[in-house]
Chain A
Amino acid sequence: MQVGLAHYLVVSTLLFCLGLYGVLTRRNAVAILMGVELMLNAANINLVAFNRYAAPAAVGGQIFALVVITLAACEAGVGLALVMAAYRGLETVHVDEINLMKW
């Protein structure tokens, strides 16, 4: 049996759902960011796999995977800076305790 597009799609779906589970259930903001990274990776697998199987001649999928990796780095940088700022100001990194906007 050859490895086909469906194989990659299954793996990326499972990875995405694991990431989603992490984002929904974690209390720690850093752990939520880790879940987001997993979801972005799942999306990247899809992009590269579609590139390989649906349009092997082009490199568009890889280009967008690279863009997503760059944006993920931006997201991690800014997100973690926000976590640090929240920790400094509110002395917690747990999202259910950061409720200053909820009066």
Chain B
Amino acid sequence: MGELAVFIILAMVTLIPAAVVVTSRHLVRAALSLVPTFLGVTGLYVLLHAEFVAGIQVLIYAGAITVLILFVIMLTEGGTGVRTRQITDQVPLGAMAAVWLAFVVLAVTLRTPWRTQPGAAPSYGVAAVGTAFLTDYVLVFEVTSLVLLVSLIGAIVIARRES
């Protein structure tokens, strides 16, 4: 019972600010609403016993990506332009697409008998994740680090002022 209550609270913390993110006319408020969403998702990870992923989620999403987004909003005109129109004329189309997709996906997922393995929740140590990264998934690890390097250089090249 307790777990369900926590789950519902976390789901609310995730979804309500997410709705603000996509609908608020105020860009800075939308960006700041990302924070409770990310923290709610973090809570879901903790509930799923994925502690390491939860820590990384806070560090990268809430601590870095949101700050980056806020920074760009403040450097471009977005922060001041409350009066600027923020939505395209695709609102009915977009709403229809989102609702239909939600409907279809929910209908499919709820009807599918997922093969779950019962049993007590295992606790995933950091060591297990690290070992898996450097043994079974070492290629994934290397490719990810390469992509990170490339995007670092790419971002610098793109954002640099040409002189």
For B158, give the chain A residue with the smallest CB separation. A81
How many residues of A are counted as interface, with CB atoms below 8 angstroms from the partner's CB atoms?
A: 77
With A6-B109, A63-B133 as known contacts, state yes or no: A34 contacts B19, CB within 8 Å: no
Q: Which residues of B contact A14 (CB under 8 A)?
A: 15, 102
- With both chains docked as a complex, state the minimum distance between the C-beta of A36 and any C-beta of chain B, in angstroms: 11
Q: How many A-B residue pairs have CB under 8 A?
A: 246
- With both chains docked as a complex, state the minimum distance between the C-beta of A61 and any C-beta of chain B, in angstroms: 8
How many residues of B are counted as interface, with CB atoms below 8 angstroms from the partner's CB atoms?
A: 86
Q: Which residues of B contact A98 (CB under 8 A)?
A: none
Q: Judging by beta carbons under 8 Å apart, are B45 and A31 in contact?
A: no
B82 at interface (Cβ–Cβ under 8 A)?
no
Q: Which residues of B contact A (CB under 8 A)?
A: 1, 3-4, 7, 11, 14-15, 18-19, 21-22, 27, 30-31, 34, 37-38, 41, 44-45, 47-50, 52-53, 56-57, 60-61, 64-65, 68-69, 71-73, 75-78, 84-88, 90-91, 93-95, 97-99, 101-102, 105-106, 109-110, 114-117, 119, 121-122, 124, 128-129, 132-133, 136-137, 140, 144, 147-148, 151-152, 154-156, 158-159, 161
